[in-house]
Amino acid sequence: MSDILDLLANTADGAFATDAGGRIVYWNLAAQKILGWKPGEVLGRNCCELFHGRGHSGELLCFRGCHVESLLRLGETVQNYDLETRDRAGRSIWLNLSTLAVPGSEPKLRLTVHFFRDVGAARQLQSLVAKSLAGRPTSDPAPLQASNLTRREVEILRLLSHGLGTAAIAVRLGVSVVTTRNHVQHILTKLETHSRLEAVAWAWEHGLLEPEAT
């Protein structure tokens, strides 16, 4: 178990671990940088009480016996998800969370590792683009180069618009980082763009990606 926690100490993403009761038992430096809480201020607290996270429609996501906890008890995979919380200074912040269950010899010894990153900038970009597209005819056909994208490339483009990096996309899709990087390069080439941000902006502008309900 100590090897796992040593690895978490060096991740760029925020990471914390909870025991079977949902109490925080580990909090890495990146988590402190993102949310402002020091380990001594969060260890022993229940994660739902600290995050009190809400979803896109304002629904409460963090509570005892939440959906994530229910899936973990059933041994099911938990898909990554976004939630809005507040940092130590009380500022609103949007995070994308991924969850990894580390089984113990007994159910009560189960450790759950949560990774998170700040996706506020990506959501702001999406919101601004969505507003700029309001009233744009949806029947406008996308340019020819967009039609050359494969279904997987469009999927990766959407994940890029959510602020996910190469490694996170690879994990999400169950492919290698090299494969993901190759897909991204193909996207840039086909759309004749020079960066991921430019590709995402191009896709929104030409209707290749549809705004999501908030």
**Residue 102 in domain:** yes
Q: How much is the pLDDT for 139?
A: 46
pLDDT at 124: 65
Q: How many CB atoms lie within 10 A of CB 59?
A: 9
Residues 52 and 94 in one domain: yes
Last residue of a domain, one of 100, 118, 136: 118
Asked if 35 and 87 count as a contact pair (C-beta separation under 8 A), the reply is yes
60, 94, 118 — which closes off a domain?
118
Residues 103, 39 within the same domain:
yes
Instruction: Give the total number of structural domains in the chain.
Output: 2
For residue 18, what pLDDT is reported? 92
Q: Are 61 and 55 in contact (CB under 8 A)?
A: yes
The per-residue pLDDT string of the chain (214 residues; one tens digit each, 9 = 90 and over) reads: 556 666 778 788 999 999 888 999 999 999 999 999 999 999 999 999 999 999 888 899 999 888 888 888 888 888 888 999 999 999 999 999 999 888 765 556 578 999 999 988 766 666 666 555 555 555 455 555 566 889 899 899 888 888 788 888 998 899 999 999 999 999 999 888 888 888 887 888 777 776 554 4
Judge if 14 and 75 occupy the same domain.
yes
pTM: 0.58
**How confident is the model at residue 28, as a pLDDT?**
94
Q: Domain of 6?
A: 2-118
| Same domain as 155, residue 199 | yes
Position 191 in a domain: yes
Q: What is the pLDDT of residue 12?
A: 84
Q: What whole-number distance in Å separates Cα of residue 10 and Cα of residue 83?
A: 24
Q: For residue 137, which amino acid is it?
A: P
